Amino acid sequence: METTLRGVGVSHGVAIGEVRHMGTAVLEPPAKQIPAEEAEREQGRARQAVEAVAADLTARGNLAGGEAQHVLEAQAMMAQDPELMADVERRIAVGSTAERGVYDAFASYRALLANAGEYLAGRVADLDDVRNRIVARLLGVPMPGVPDSDEPYVLIARDLAPADTALLDPALVLGFVTEEGGPTSHSAILARALGVPAVVALPGAGELAEGTVIAVDGSTGEIFVEPSAGKRAEMESAAAARKAALSASSGPGATSDGHKVPLLANVGGPGDVPAAVEAGAEGVGLFRTEFLFLDDSKRAPSEEKQIAAYRAVLEAFPEGRVVVRVLDAGADKPLDFLTPADEPNPALGVRGLRSLLDHPDVLRTQLTALSKAAQGLPVHLEVMAPMVADRADARAFADACREAGLQAKFGAMVEIPSAALRARSILREVEFLSLGTNDLAQYTFAADRQVGAVSRLQDPWQPALLDLVALSAEAAGAEGKSCGVCGEAASDPLLACVLTGLGVTSLSMGAASIPYVRATLAKYTLAQCERAASAARAADSAEEARVAAQAVLSGE
């Protein structure tokens, strides 16, 4: 009998096939004591296992390339973390075996990550995978992984490690479903990069029996267990129509009546650029620069290192628009040299632009590096500040840009309700706005992005959030300036139409979402988008807003 489950869709597409489960995780090694004279030998075993696993992860990354390579290289660095290794050796020195020392040291570090904010908590699955690989090597047992199968299947797992996700064969793995994870987990990011339909955060996914036929909708997050012939035909037809629309869609983003909506890419570094170019991105709407700073939380990267990374991205979009967000540190991305360690509520403390204004040398170096990176290039560089609260913040950032000699447009991110409410005032200091819908939802609804119990308030379809988007877009229109969206909301094709109807002038998203958004926008006129936006704002809940917008666009 057909039943429906709902998780979080993180990668567009439809997959229909039999369930196959990921191999069992490595068992916890026994806690037995070793004689003191064996400690040095056990420490050597641990070091050898760590180096072997790091080398394997690096090799897998080289094979996968692109975004996956960066993720796996980060995992290799995690395996070789000197503080972690020192903890392992301390535990062995007081009597642990190599495998138990690794297991316990990683458990301690895991607890720190899980409580350190969304970005770092999203790396817990990566850490678990590194631990499992090292322990498996020490125990001499096979590493759990993707099951062997000659027939295509839908993969079910508690969570997927990047090393497994990166090398999935899309010809065999039709899609995957996990019990844990979220839109910002590495598995979700890599699924989008691979173009594999994926649903995460589905409680009880592991209870689906091996061989059960399921249909996965990576857009809606719906899972249909033992789908009827009619449901399968409906989903296959919709998938075929979507694929045809994607193939036929190319060129700049626009509505069916020619209203231009530039479709830009969110990138985290040079490794994301090839996928963005292939997807037809018209530029970069959000260049997250944190990747340069998170490699070493003790000190900022040199100006030279920053110049090289920025130029690699800028060169990829000649004549295009590249919007760079200066360092957004604090809250879920703490940096020892920049952010306070003892804040009672870091999300409401010194983060984003506030951190940079407290450390003007870090901001000055970054702005100078951006200026030098853009020299001689025909790119249209724009630089924006995160967590702008009011006109004073906007003025301070614009002044810093001018003092650094930056020849670029200066902008402000709208992530705090006050910035949306006073957008026109802020626009007297800067030249554009960019809406970060993830944080804007968090602060609008007092709903922590890490707390699952309030996840419904993180839905970007919430009418109150749409009201703030509308206020920002209207203010930008009145000032003759642009207002884009670079949060996750832009990657939802239906919501992209609503955002266009609200007056948003550009949409930025992960590269894999660009074809879907382009094809959907091209089906509707600007007037239809505006009517859908009005219907969504008139609703009282996120689900009602989604249904109302869909009804308008479907002509119902």
Would you please indicate which residues are annotated as catalytic (active-site) residues? 186, 486
By three-state DSSP, how is residue 148 classified? Answer: coil
Query: Which segments within 363-510 are labelled E, that is strand?
Result: 380-385, 409-414, 432-435, 482-485, 506-509
By three-state DSSP, how is residue 132 classified? Answer: helix
CB 122 within 8 A of CB 182: yes
Query: Which segments within 462-515 are labelled E, that is strand?
Result: 482-485, 506-509
Report residue 382: phi and psi, to 5°.
Answer: -130, 140
Nearest Cα to 60, choosing from 175, 183, 163, 134?
A: 163
CB 339 within 8 A of CB 346: yes
The DSSP code for 531 is H
Q: Estimate the crossing angle of helix 82-93 against helix 39-64, to 10 degrees.
A: 150
CA atoms in the 13 A half-sphere facing the CB of 201: 19
CB 469 within 8 A of CB 477: no
As given in the structure block, the two tokens for residue 481 are 């300036």
Give the separation between CA 209 and CA 34, rounded to whole angstroms: 42
Give the separation between CA 331 and CA 38, rounded to whole angstroms: 43
The CA–CA distances, whole Å, from 218 to 175, 317, 352, 448 equal 8, 30, 32, 24
To which residue do tokens 């995957």 refer? Answer: 176
Strand partners for 333: 330
CB 301 within 8 A of CB 293: yes
In whole angstroms, how large is the CA radius of gyration of the chain? 24
The CA–CA distances, whole Å, from 191 to 224, 246, 421, 513, 542 equal 20, 18, 36, 11, 26
Report residue 142: phi and psi, to 5°.
Answer: -65, 145
To which residue do tokens 């642009």 refer? Answer: 482
